[in-house]
Structure 1
Amino acid sequence: MKKDIHIPKVDQVYIAVVNEHNDVYNTDDWNAYIINDREEDLELVLIVSNGYSETKKTATFRKKLDKLPKKSYAKIELMTEELFALNNQFKVSFFIGNQMFDKTYLFRKNTINKKALQPIPLMAVKGVLVK
């Protein structure tokens, strides 16, 4: 039965971690975003994230978006720099029509840093991107 379930390949949906200035607290914060660069809306987007290493594991964070419109993005969570020493994993599931899509995005430890910044699709900022 399980072999009969077809989950198609996810493309044009990304996770980015962006370094942004917070005007309220006058700090530079790292925020994780989900980006929908597709021509279709994503429905019932479920994101489960956590950080881990050989000796440590963070709490699991869950976020649900009812809809992520085409060519848009949404903030997932604030990330503290202590998390960057861990592998940070984002499991993303969503629907387009009646079809379910699922993908795991992984930021390996120490890959989120200011030296790794690159332009982020749809956003006028630089960050670290996982496709």
Structure 2
Amino acid sequence: MRKDIKVPEVKNVTLAVTREVNKLNQAEWNVHLINRNEHDIENTLVASTGYGKVGDEHQKTSTLRHFLETVPAKSTALIEPINSDIFHLNNEFWVSYYIDGKIYDKKFIFLPDTIKEDNLIYIKELDMEGVLHS
């Protein structure tokens, strides 16, 4: 039965959306995975999609999938660039990975309009400013 399935809790793995200013003085936004664990995470799959409703119109982006073979302990990995035109949507990232043969997965959702200049903080693992998923 479903209630008998033990799902391991995701710990010390999170996402951040960072902002950098390019040579043309334009903001570029990127999504990063942060592994704060003392051990590597293996066979990491990240699926991303945006969705929401603007007025009476439903909007949805395409789903992108990324595979990261190994994310070393105490490190980060670039997932994808993200366009600021979709910050008004829910931006969902489903992250799955293995540790010692056990699968871990968690859904991270950046709610509409939470990725913005006002919410930027310094993220030490990336040595840059961004919005950290809590």
TM > 0.5 fold call: yes
State the shift of 1:122 in Å: 1.1
Q: Give the corresponding residue for 2:65.
A: 62
CA distance in structure 2 between the partners assigned to 1:29 and 1:53 by the alignment? 23
How is 1:10-89 mapped onto 2 (pairs within 5 angstroms)? 10-23=10-23, 27-54=26-53, 55-89=58-92
State the 1:2 CA deviation. Answer: 3.4
2:106 is equivalent to residue 103 of structure 1: yes
Q: Distance in 2 between matches of 1:43 and 1:101?
A: 10
State, as a whole percentage, how many aligned pairs show the same letter: 40
Are the aligned partners of 1:34 and 1:76 in contact in 2 as well (CA < 8 Å)? Answer: yes
Aligned to 2:2: 2
The TM-score, its normalising length taken from structure 2, stands at 0.91
Larger mean Cα displacement after TM superposition, 103-112 or 119-128: 119-128
Deviation at 1:36, TM superposition (A): 0.3
After TM superposition, the structure 1 = structure 2 runs for residues 114-129 of structure 1, keeping only pairs within 5 Å, are: 114-129=117-132
Size of the aligned set, in residue pairs, is 130
CA distance in 1, matches of 2:71, 2:126: 15
CA distance in 2, matches of 1:21, 1:68: 26
What secondary structure does 2:67 align onto? strand
Amino acid at match of 1:129: L
Show CA shifts across 1:60-119 (max 9, x none).
Answer: 010000000001111111111111010000000000111111100000000000110112
Provide closer, same or farther for how the CA distance between residues 112 and 97 of structure 1 changes in structure 2, counting only shifts above 3 A. Answer: same
4+ residue runs over 6 A deviation: none
- Aligned amino acid, residue 127 of structure 1: G
Post-superposition offset of 1:26: 5.3
Q: Which amino acid aligns with 2:43?
A: L
What SS class does the counterpart of residue 56 from structure 1 fall into? strand
Question: TM-score, normalising length from structure 1?
Answer: 0.93
Kept in 2, the 8 Å contact 1:37–1:121? The answer is no
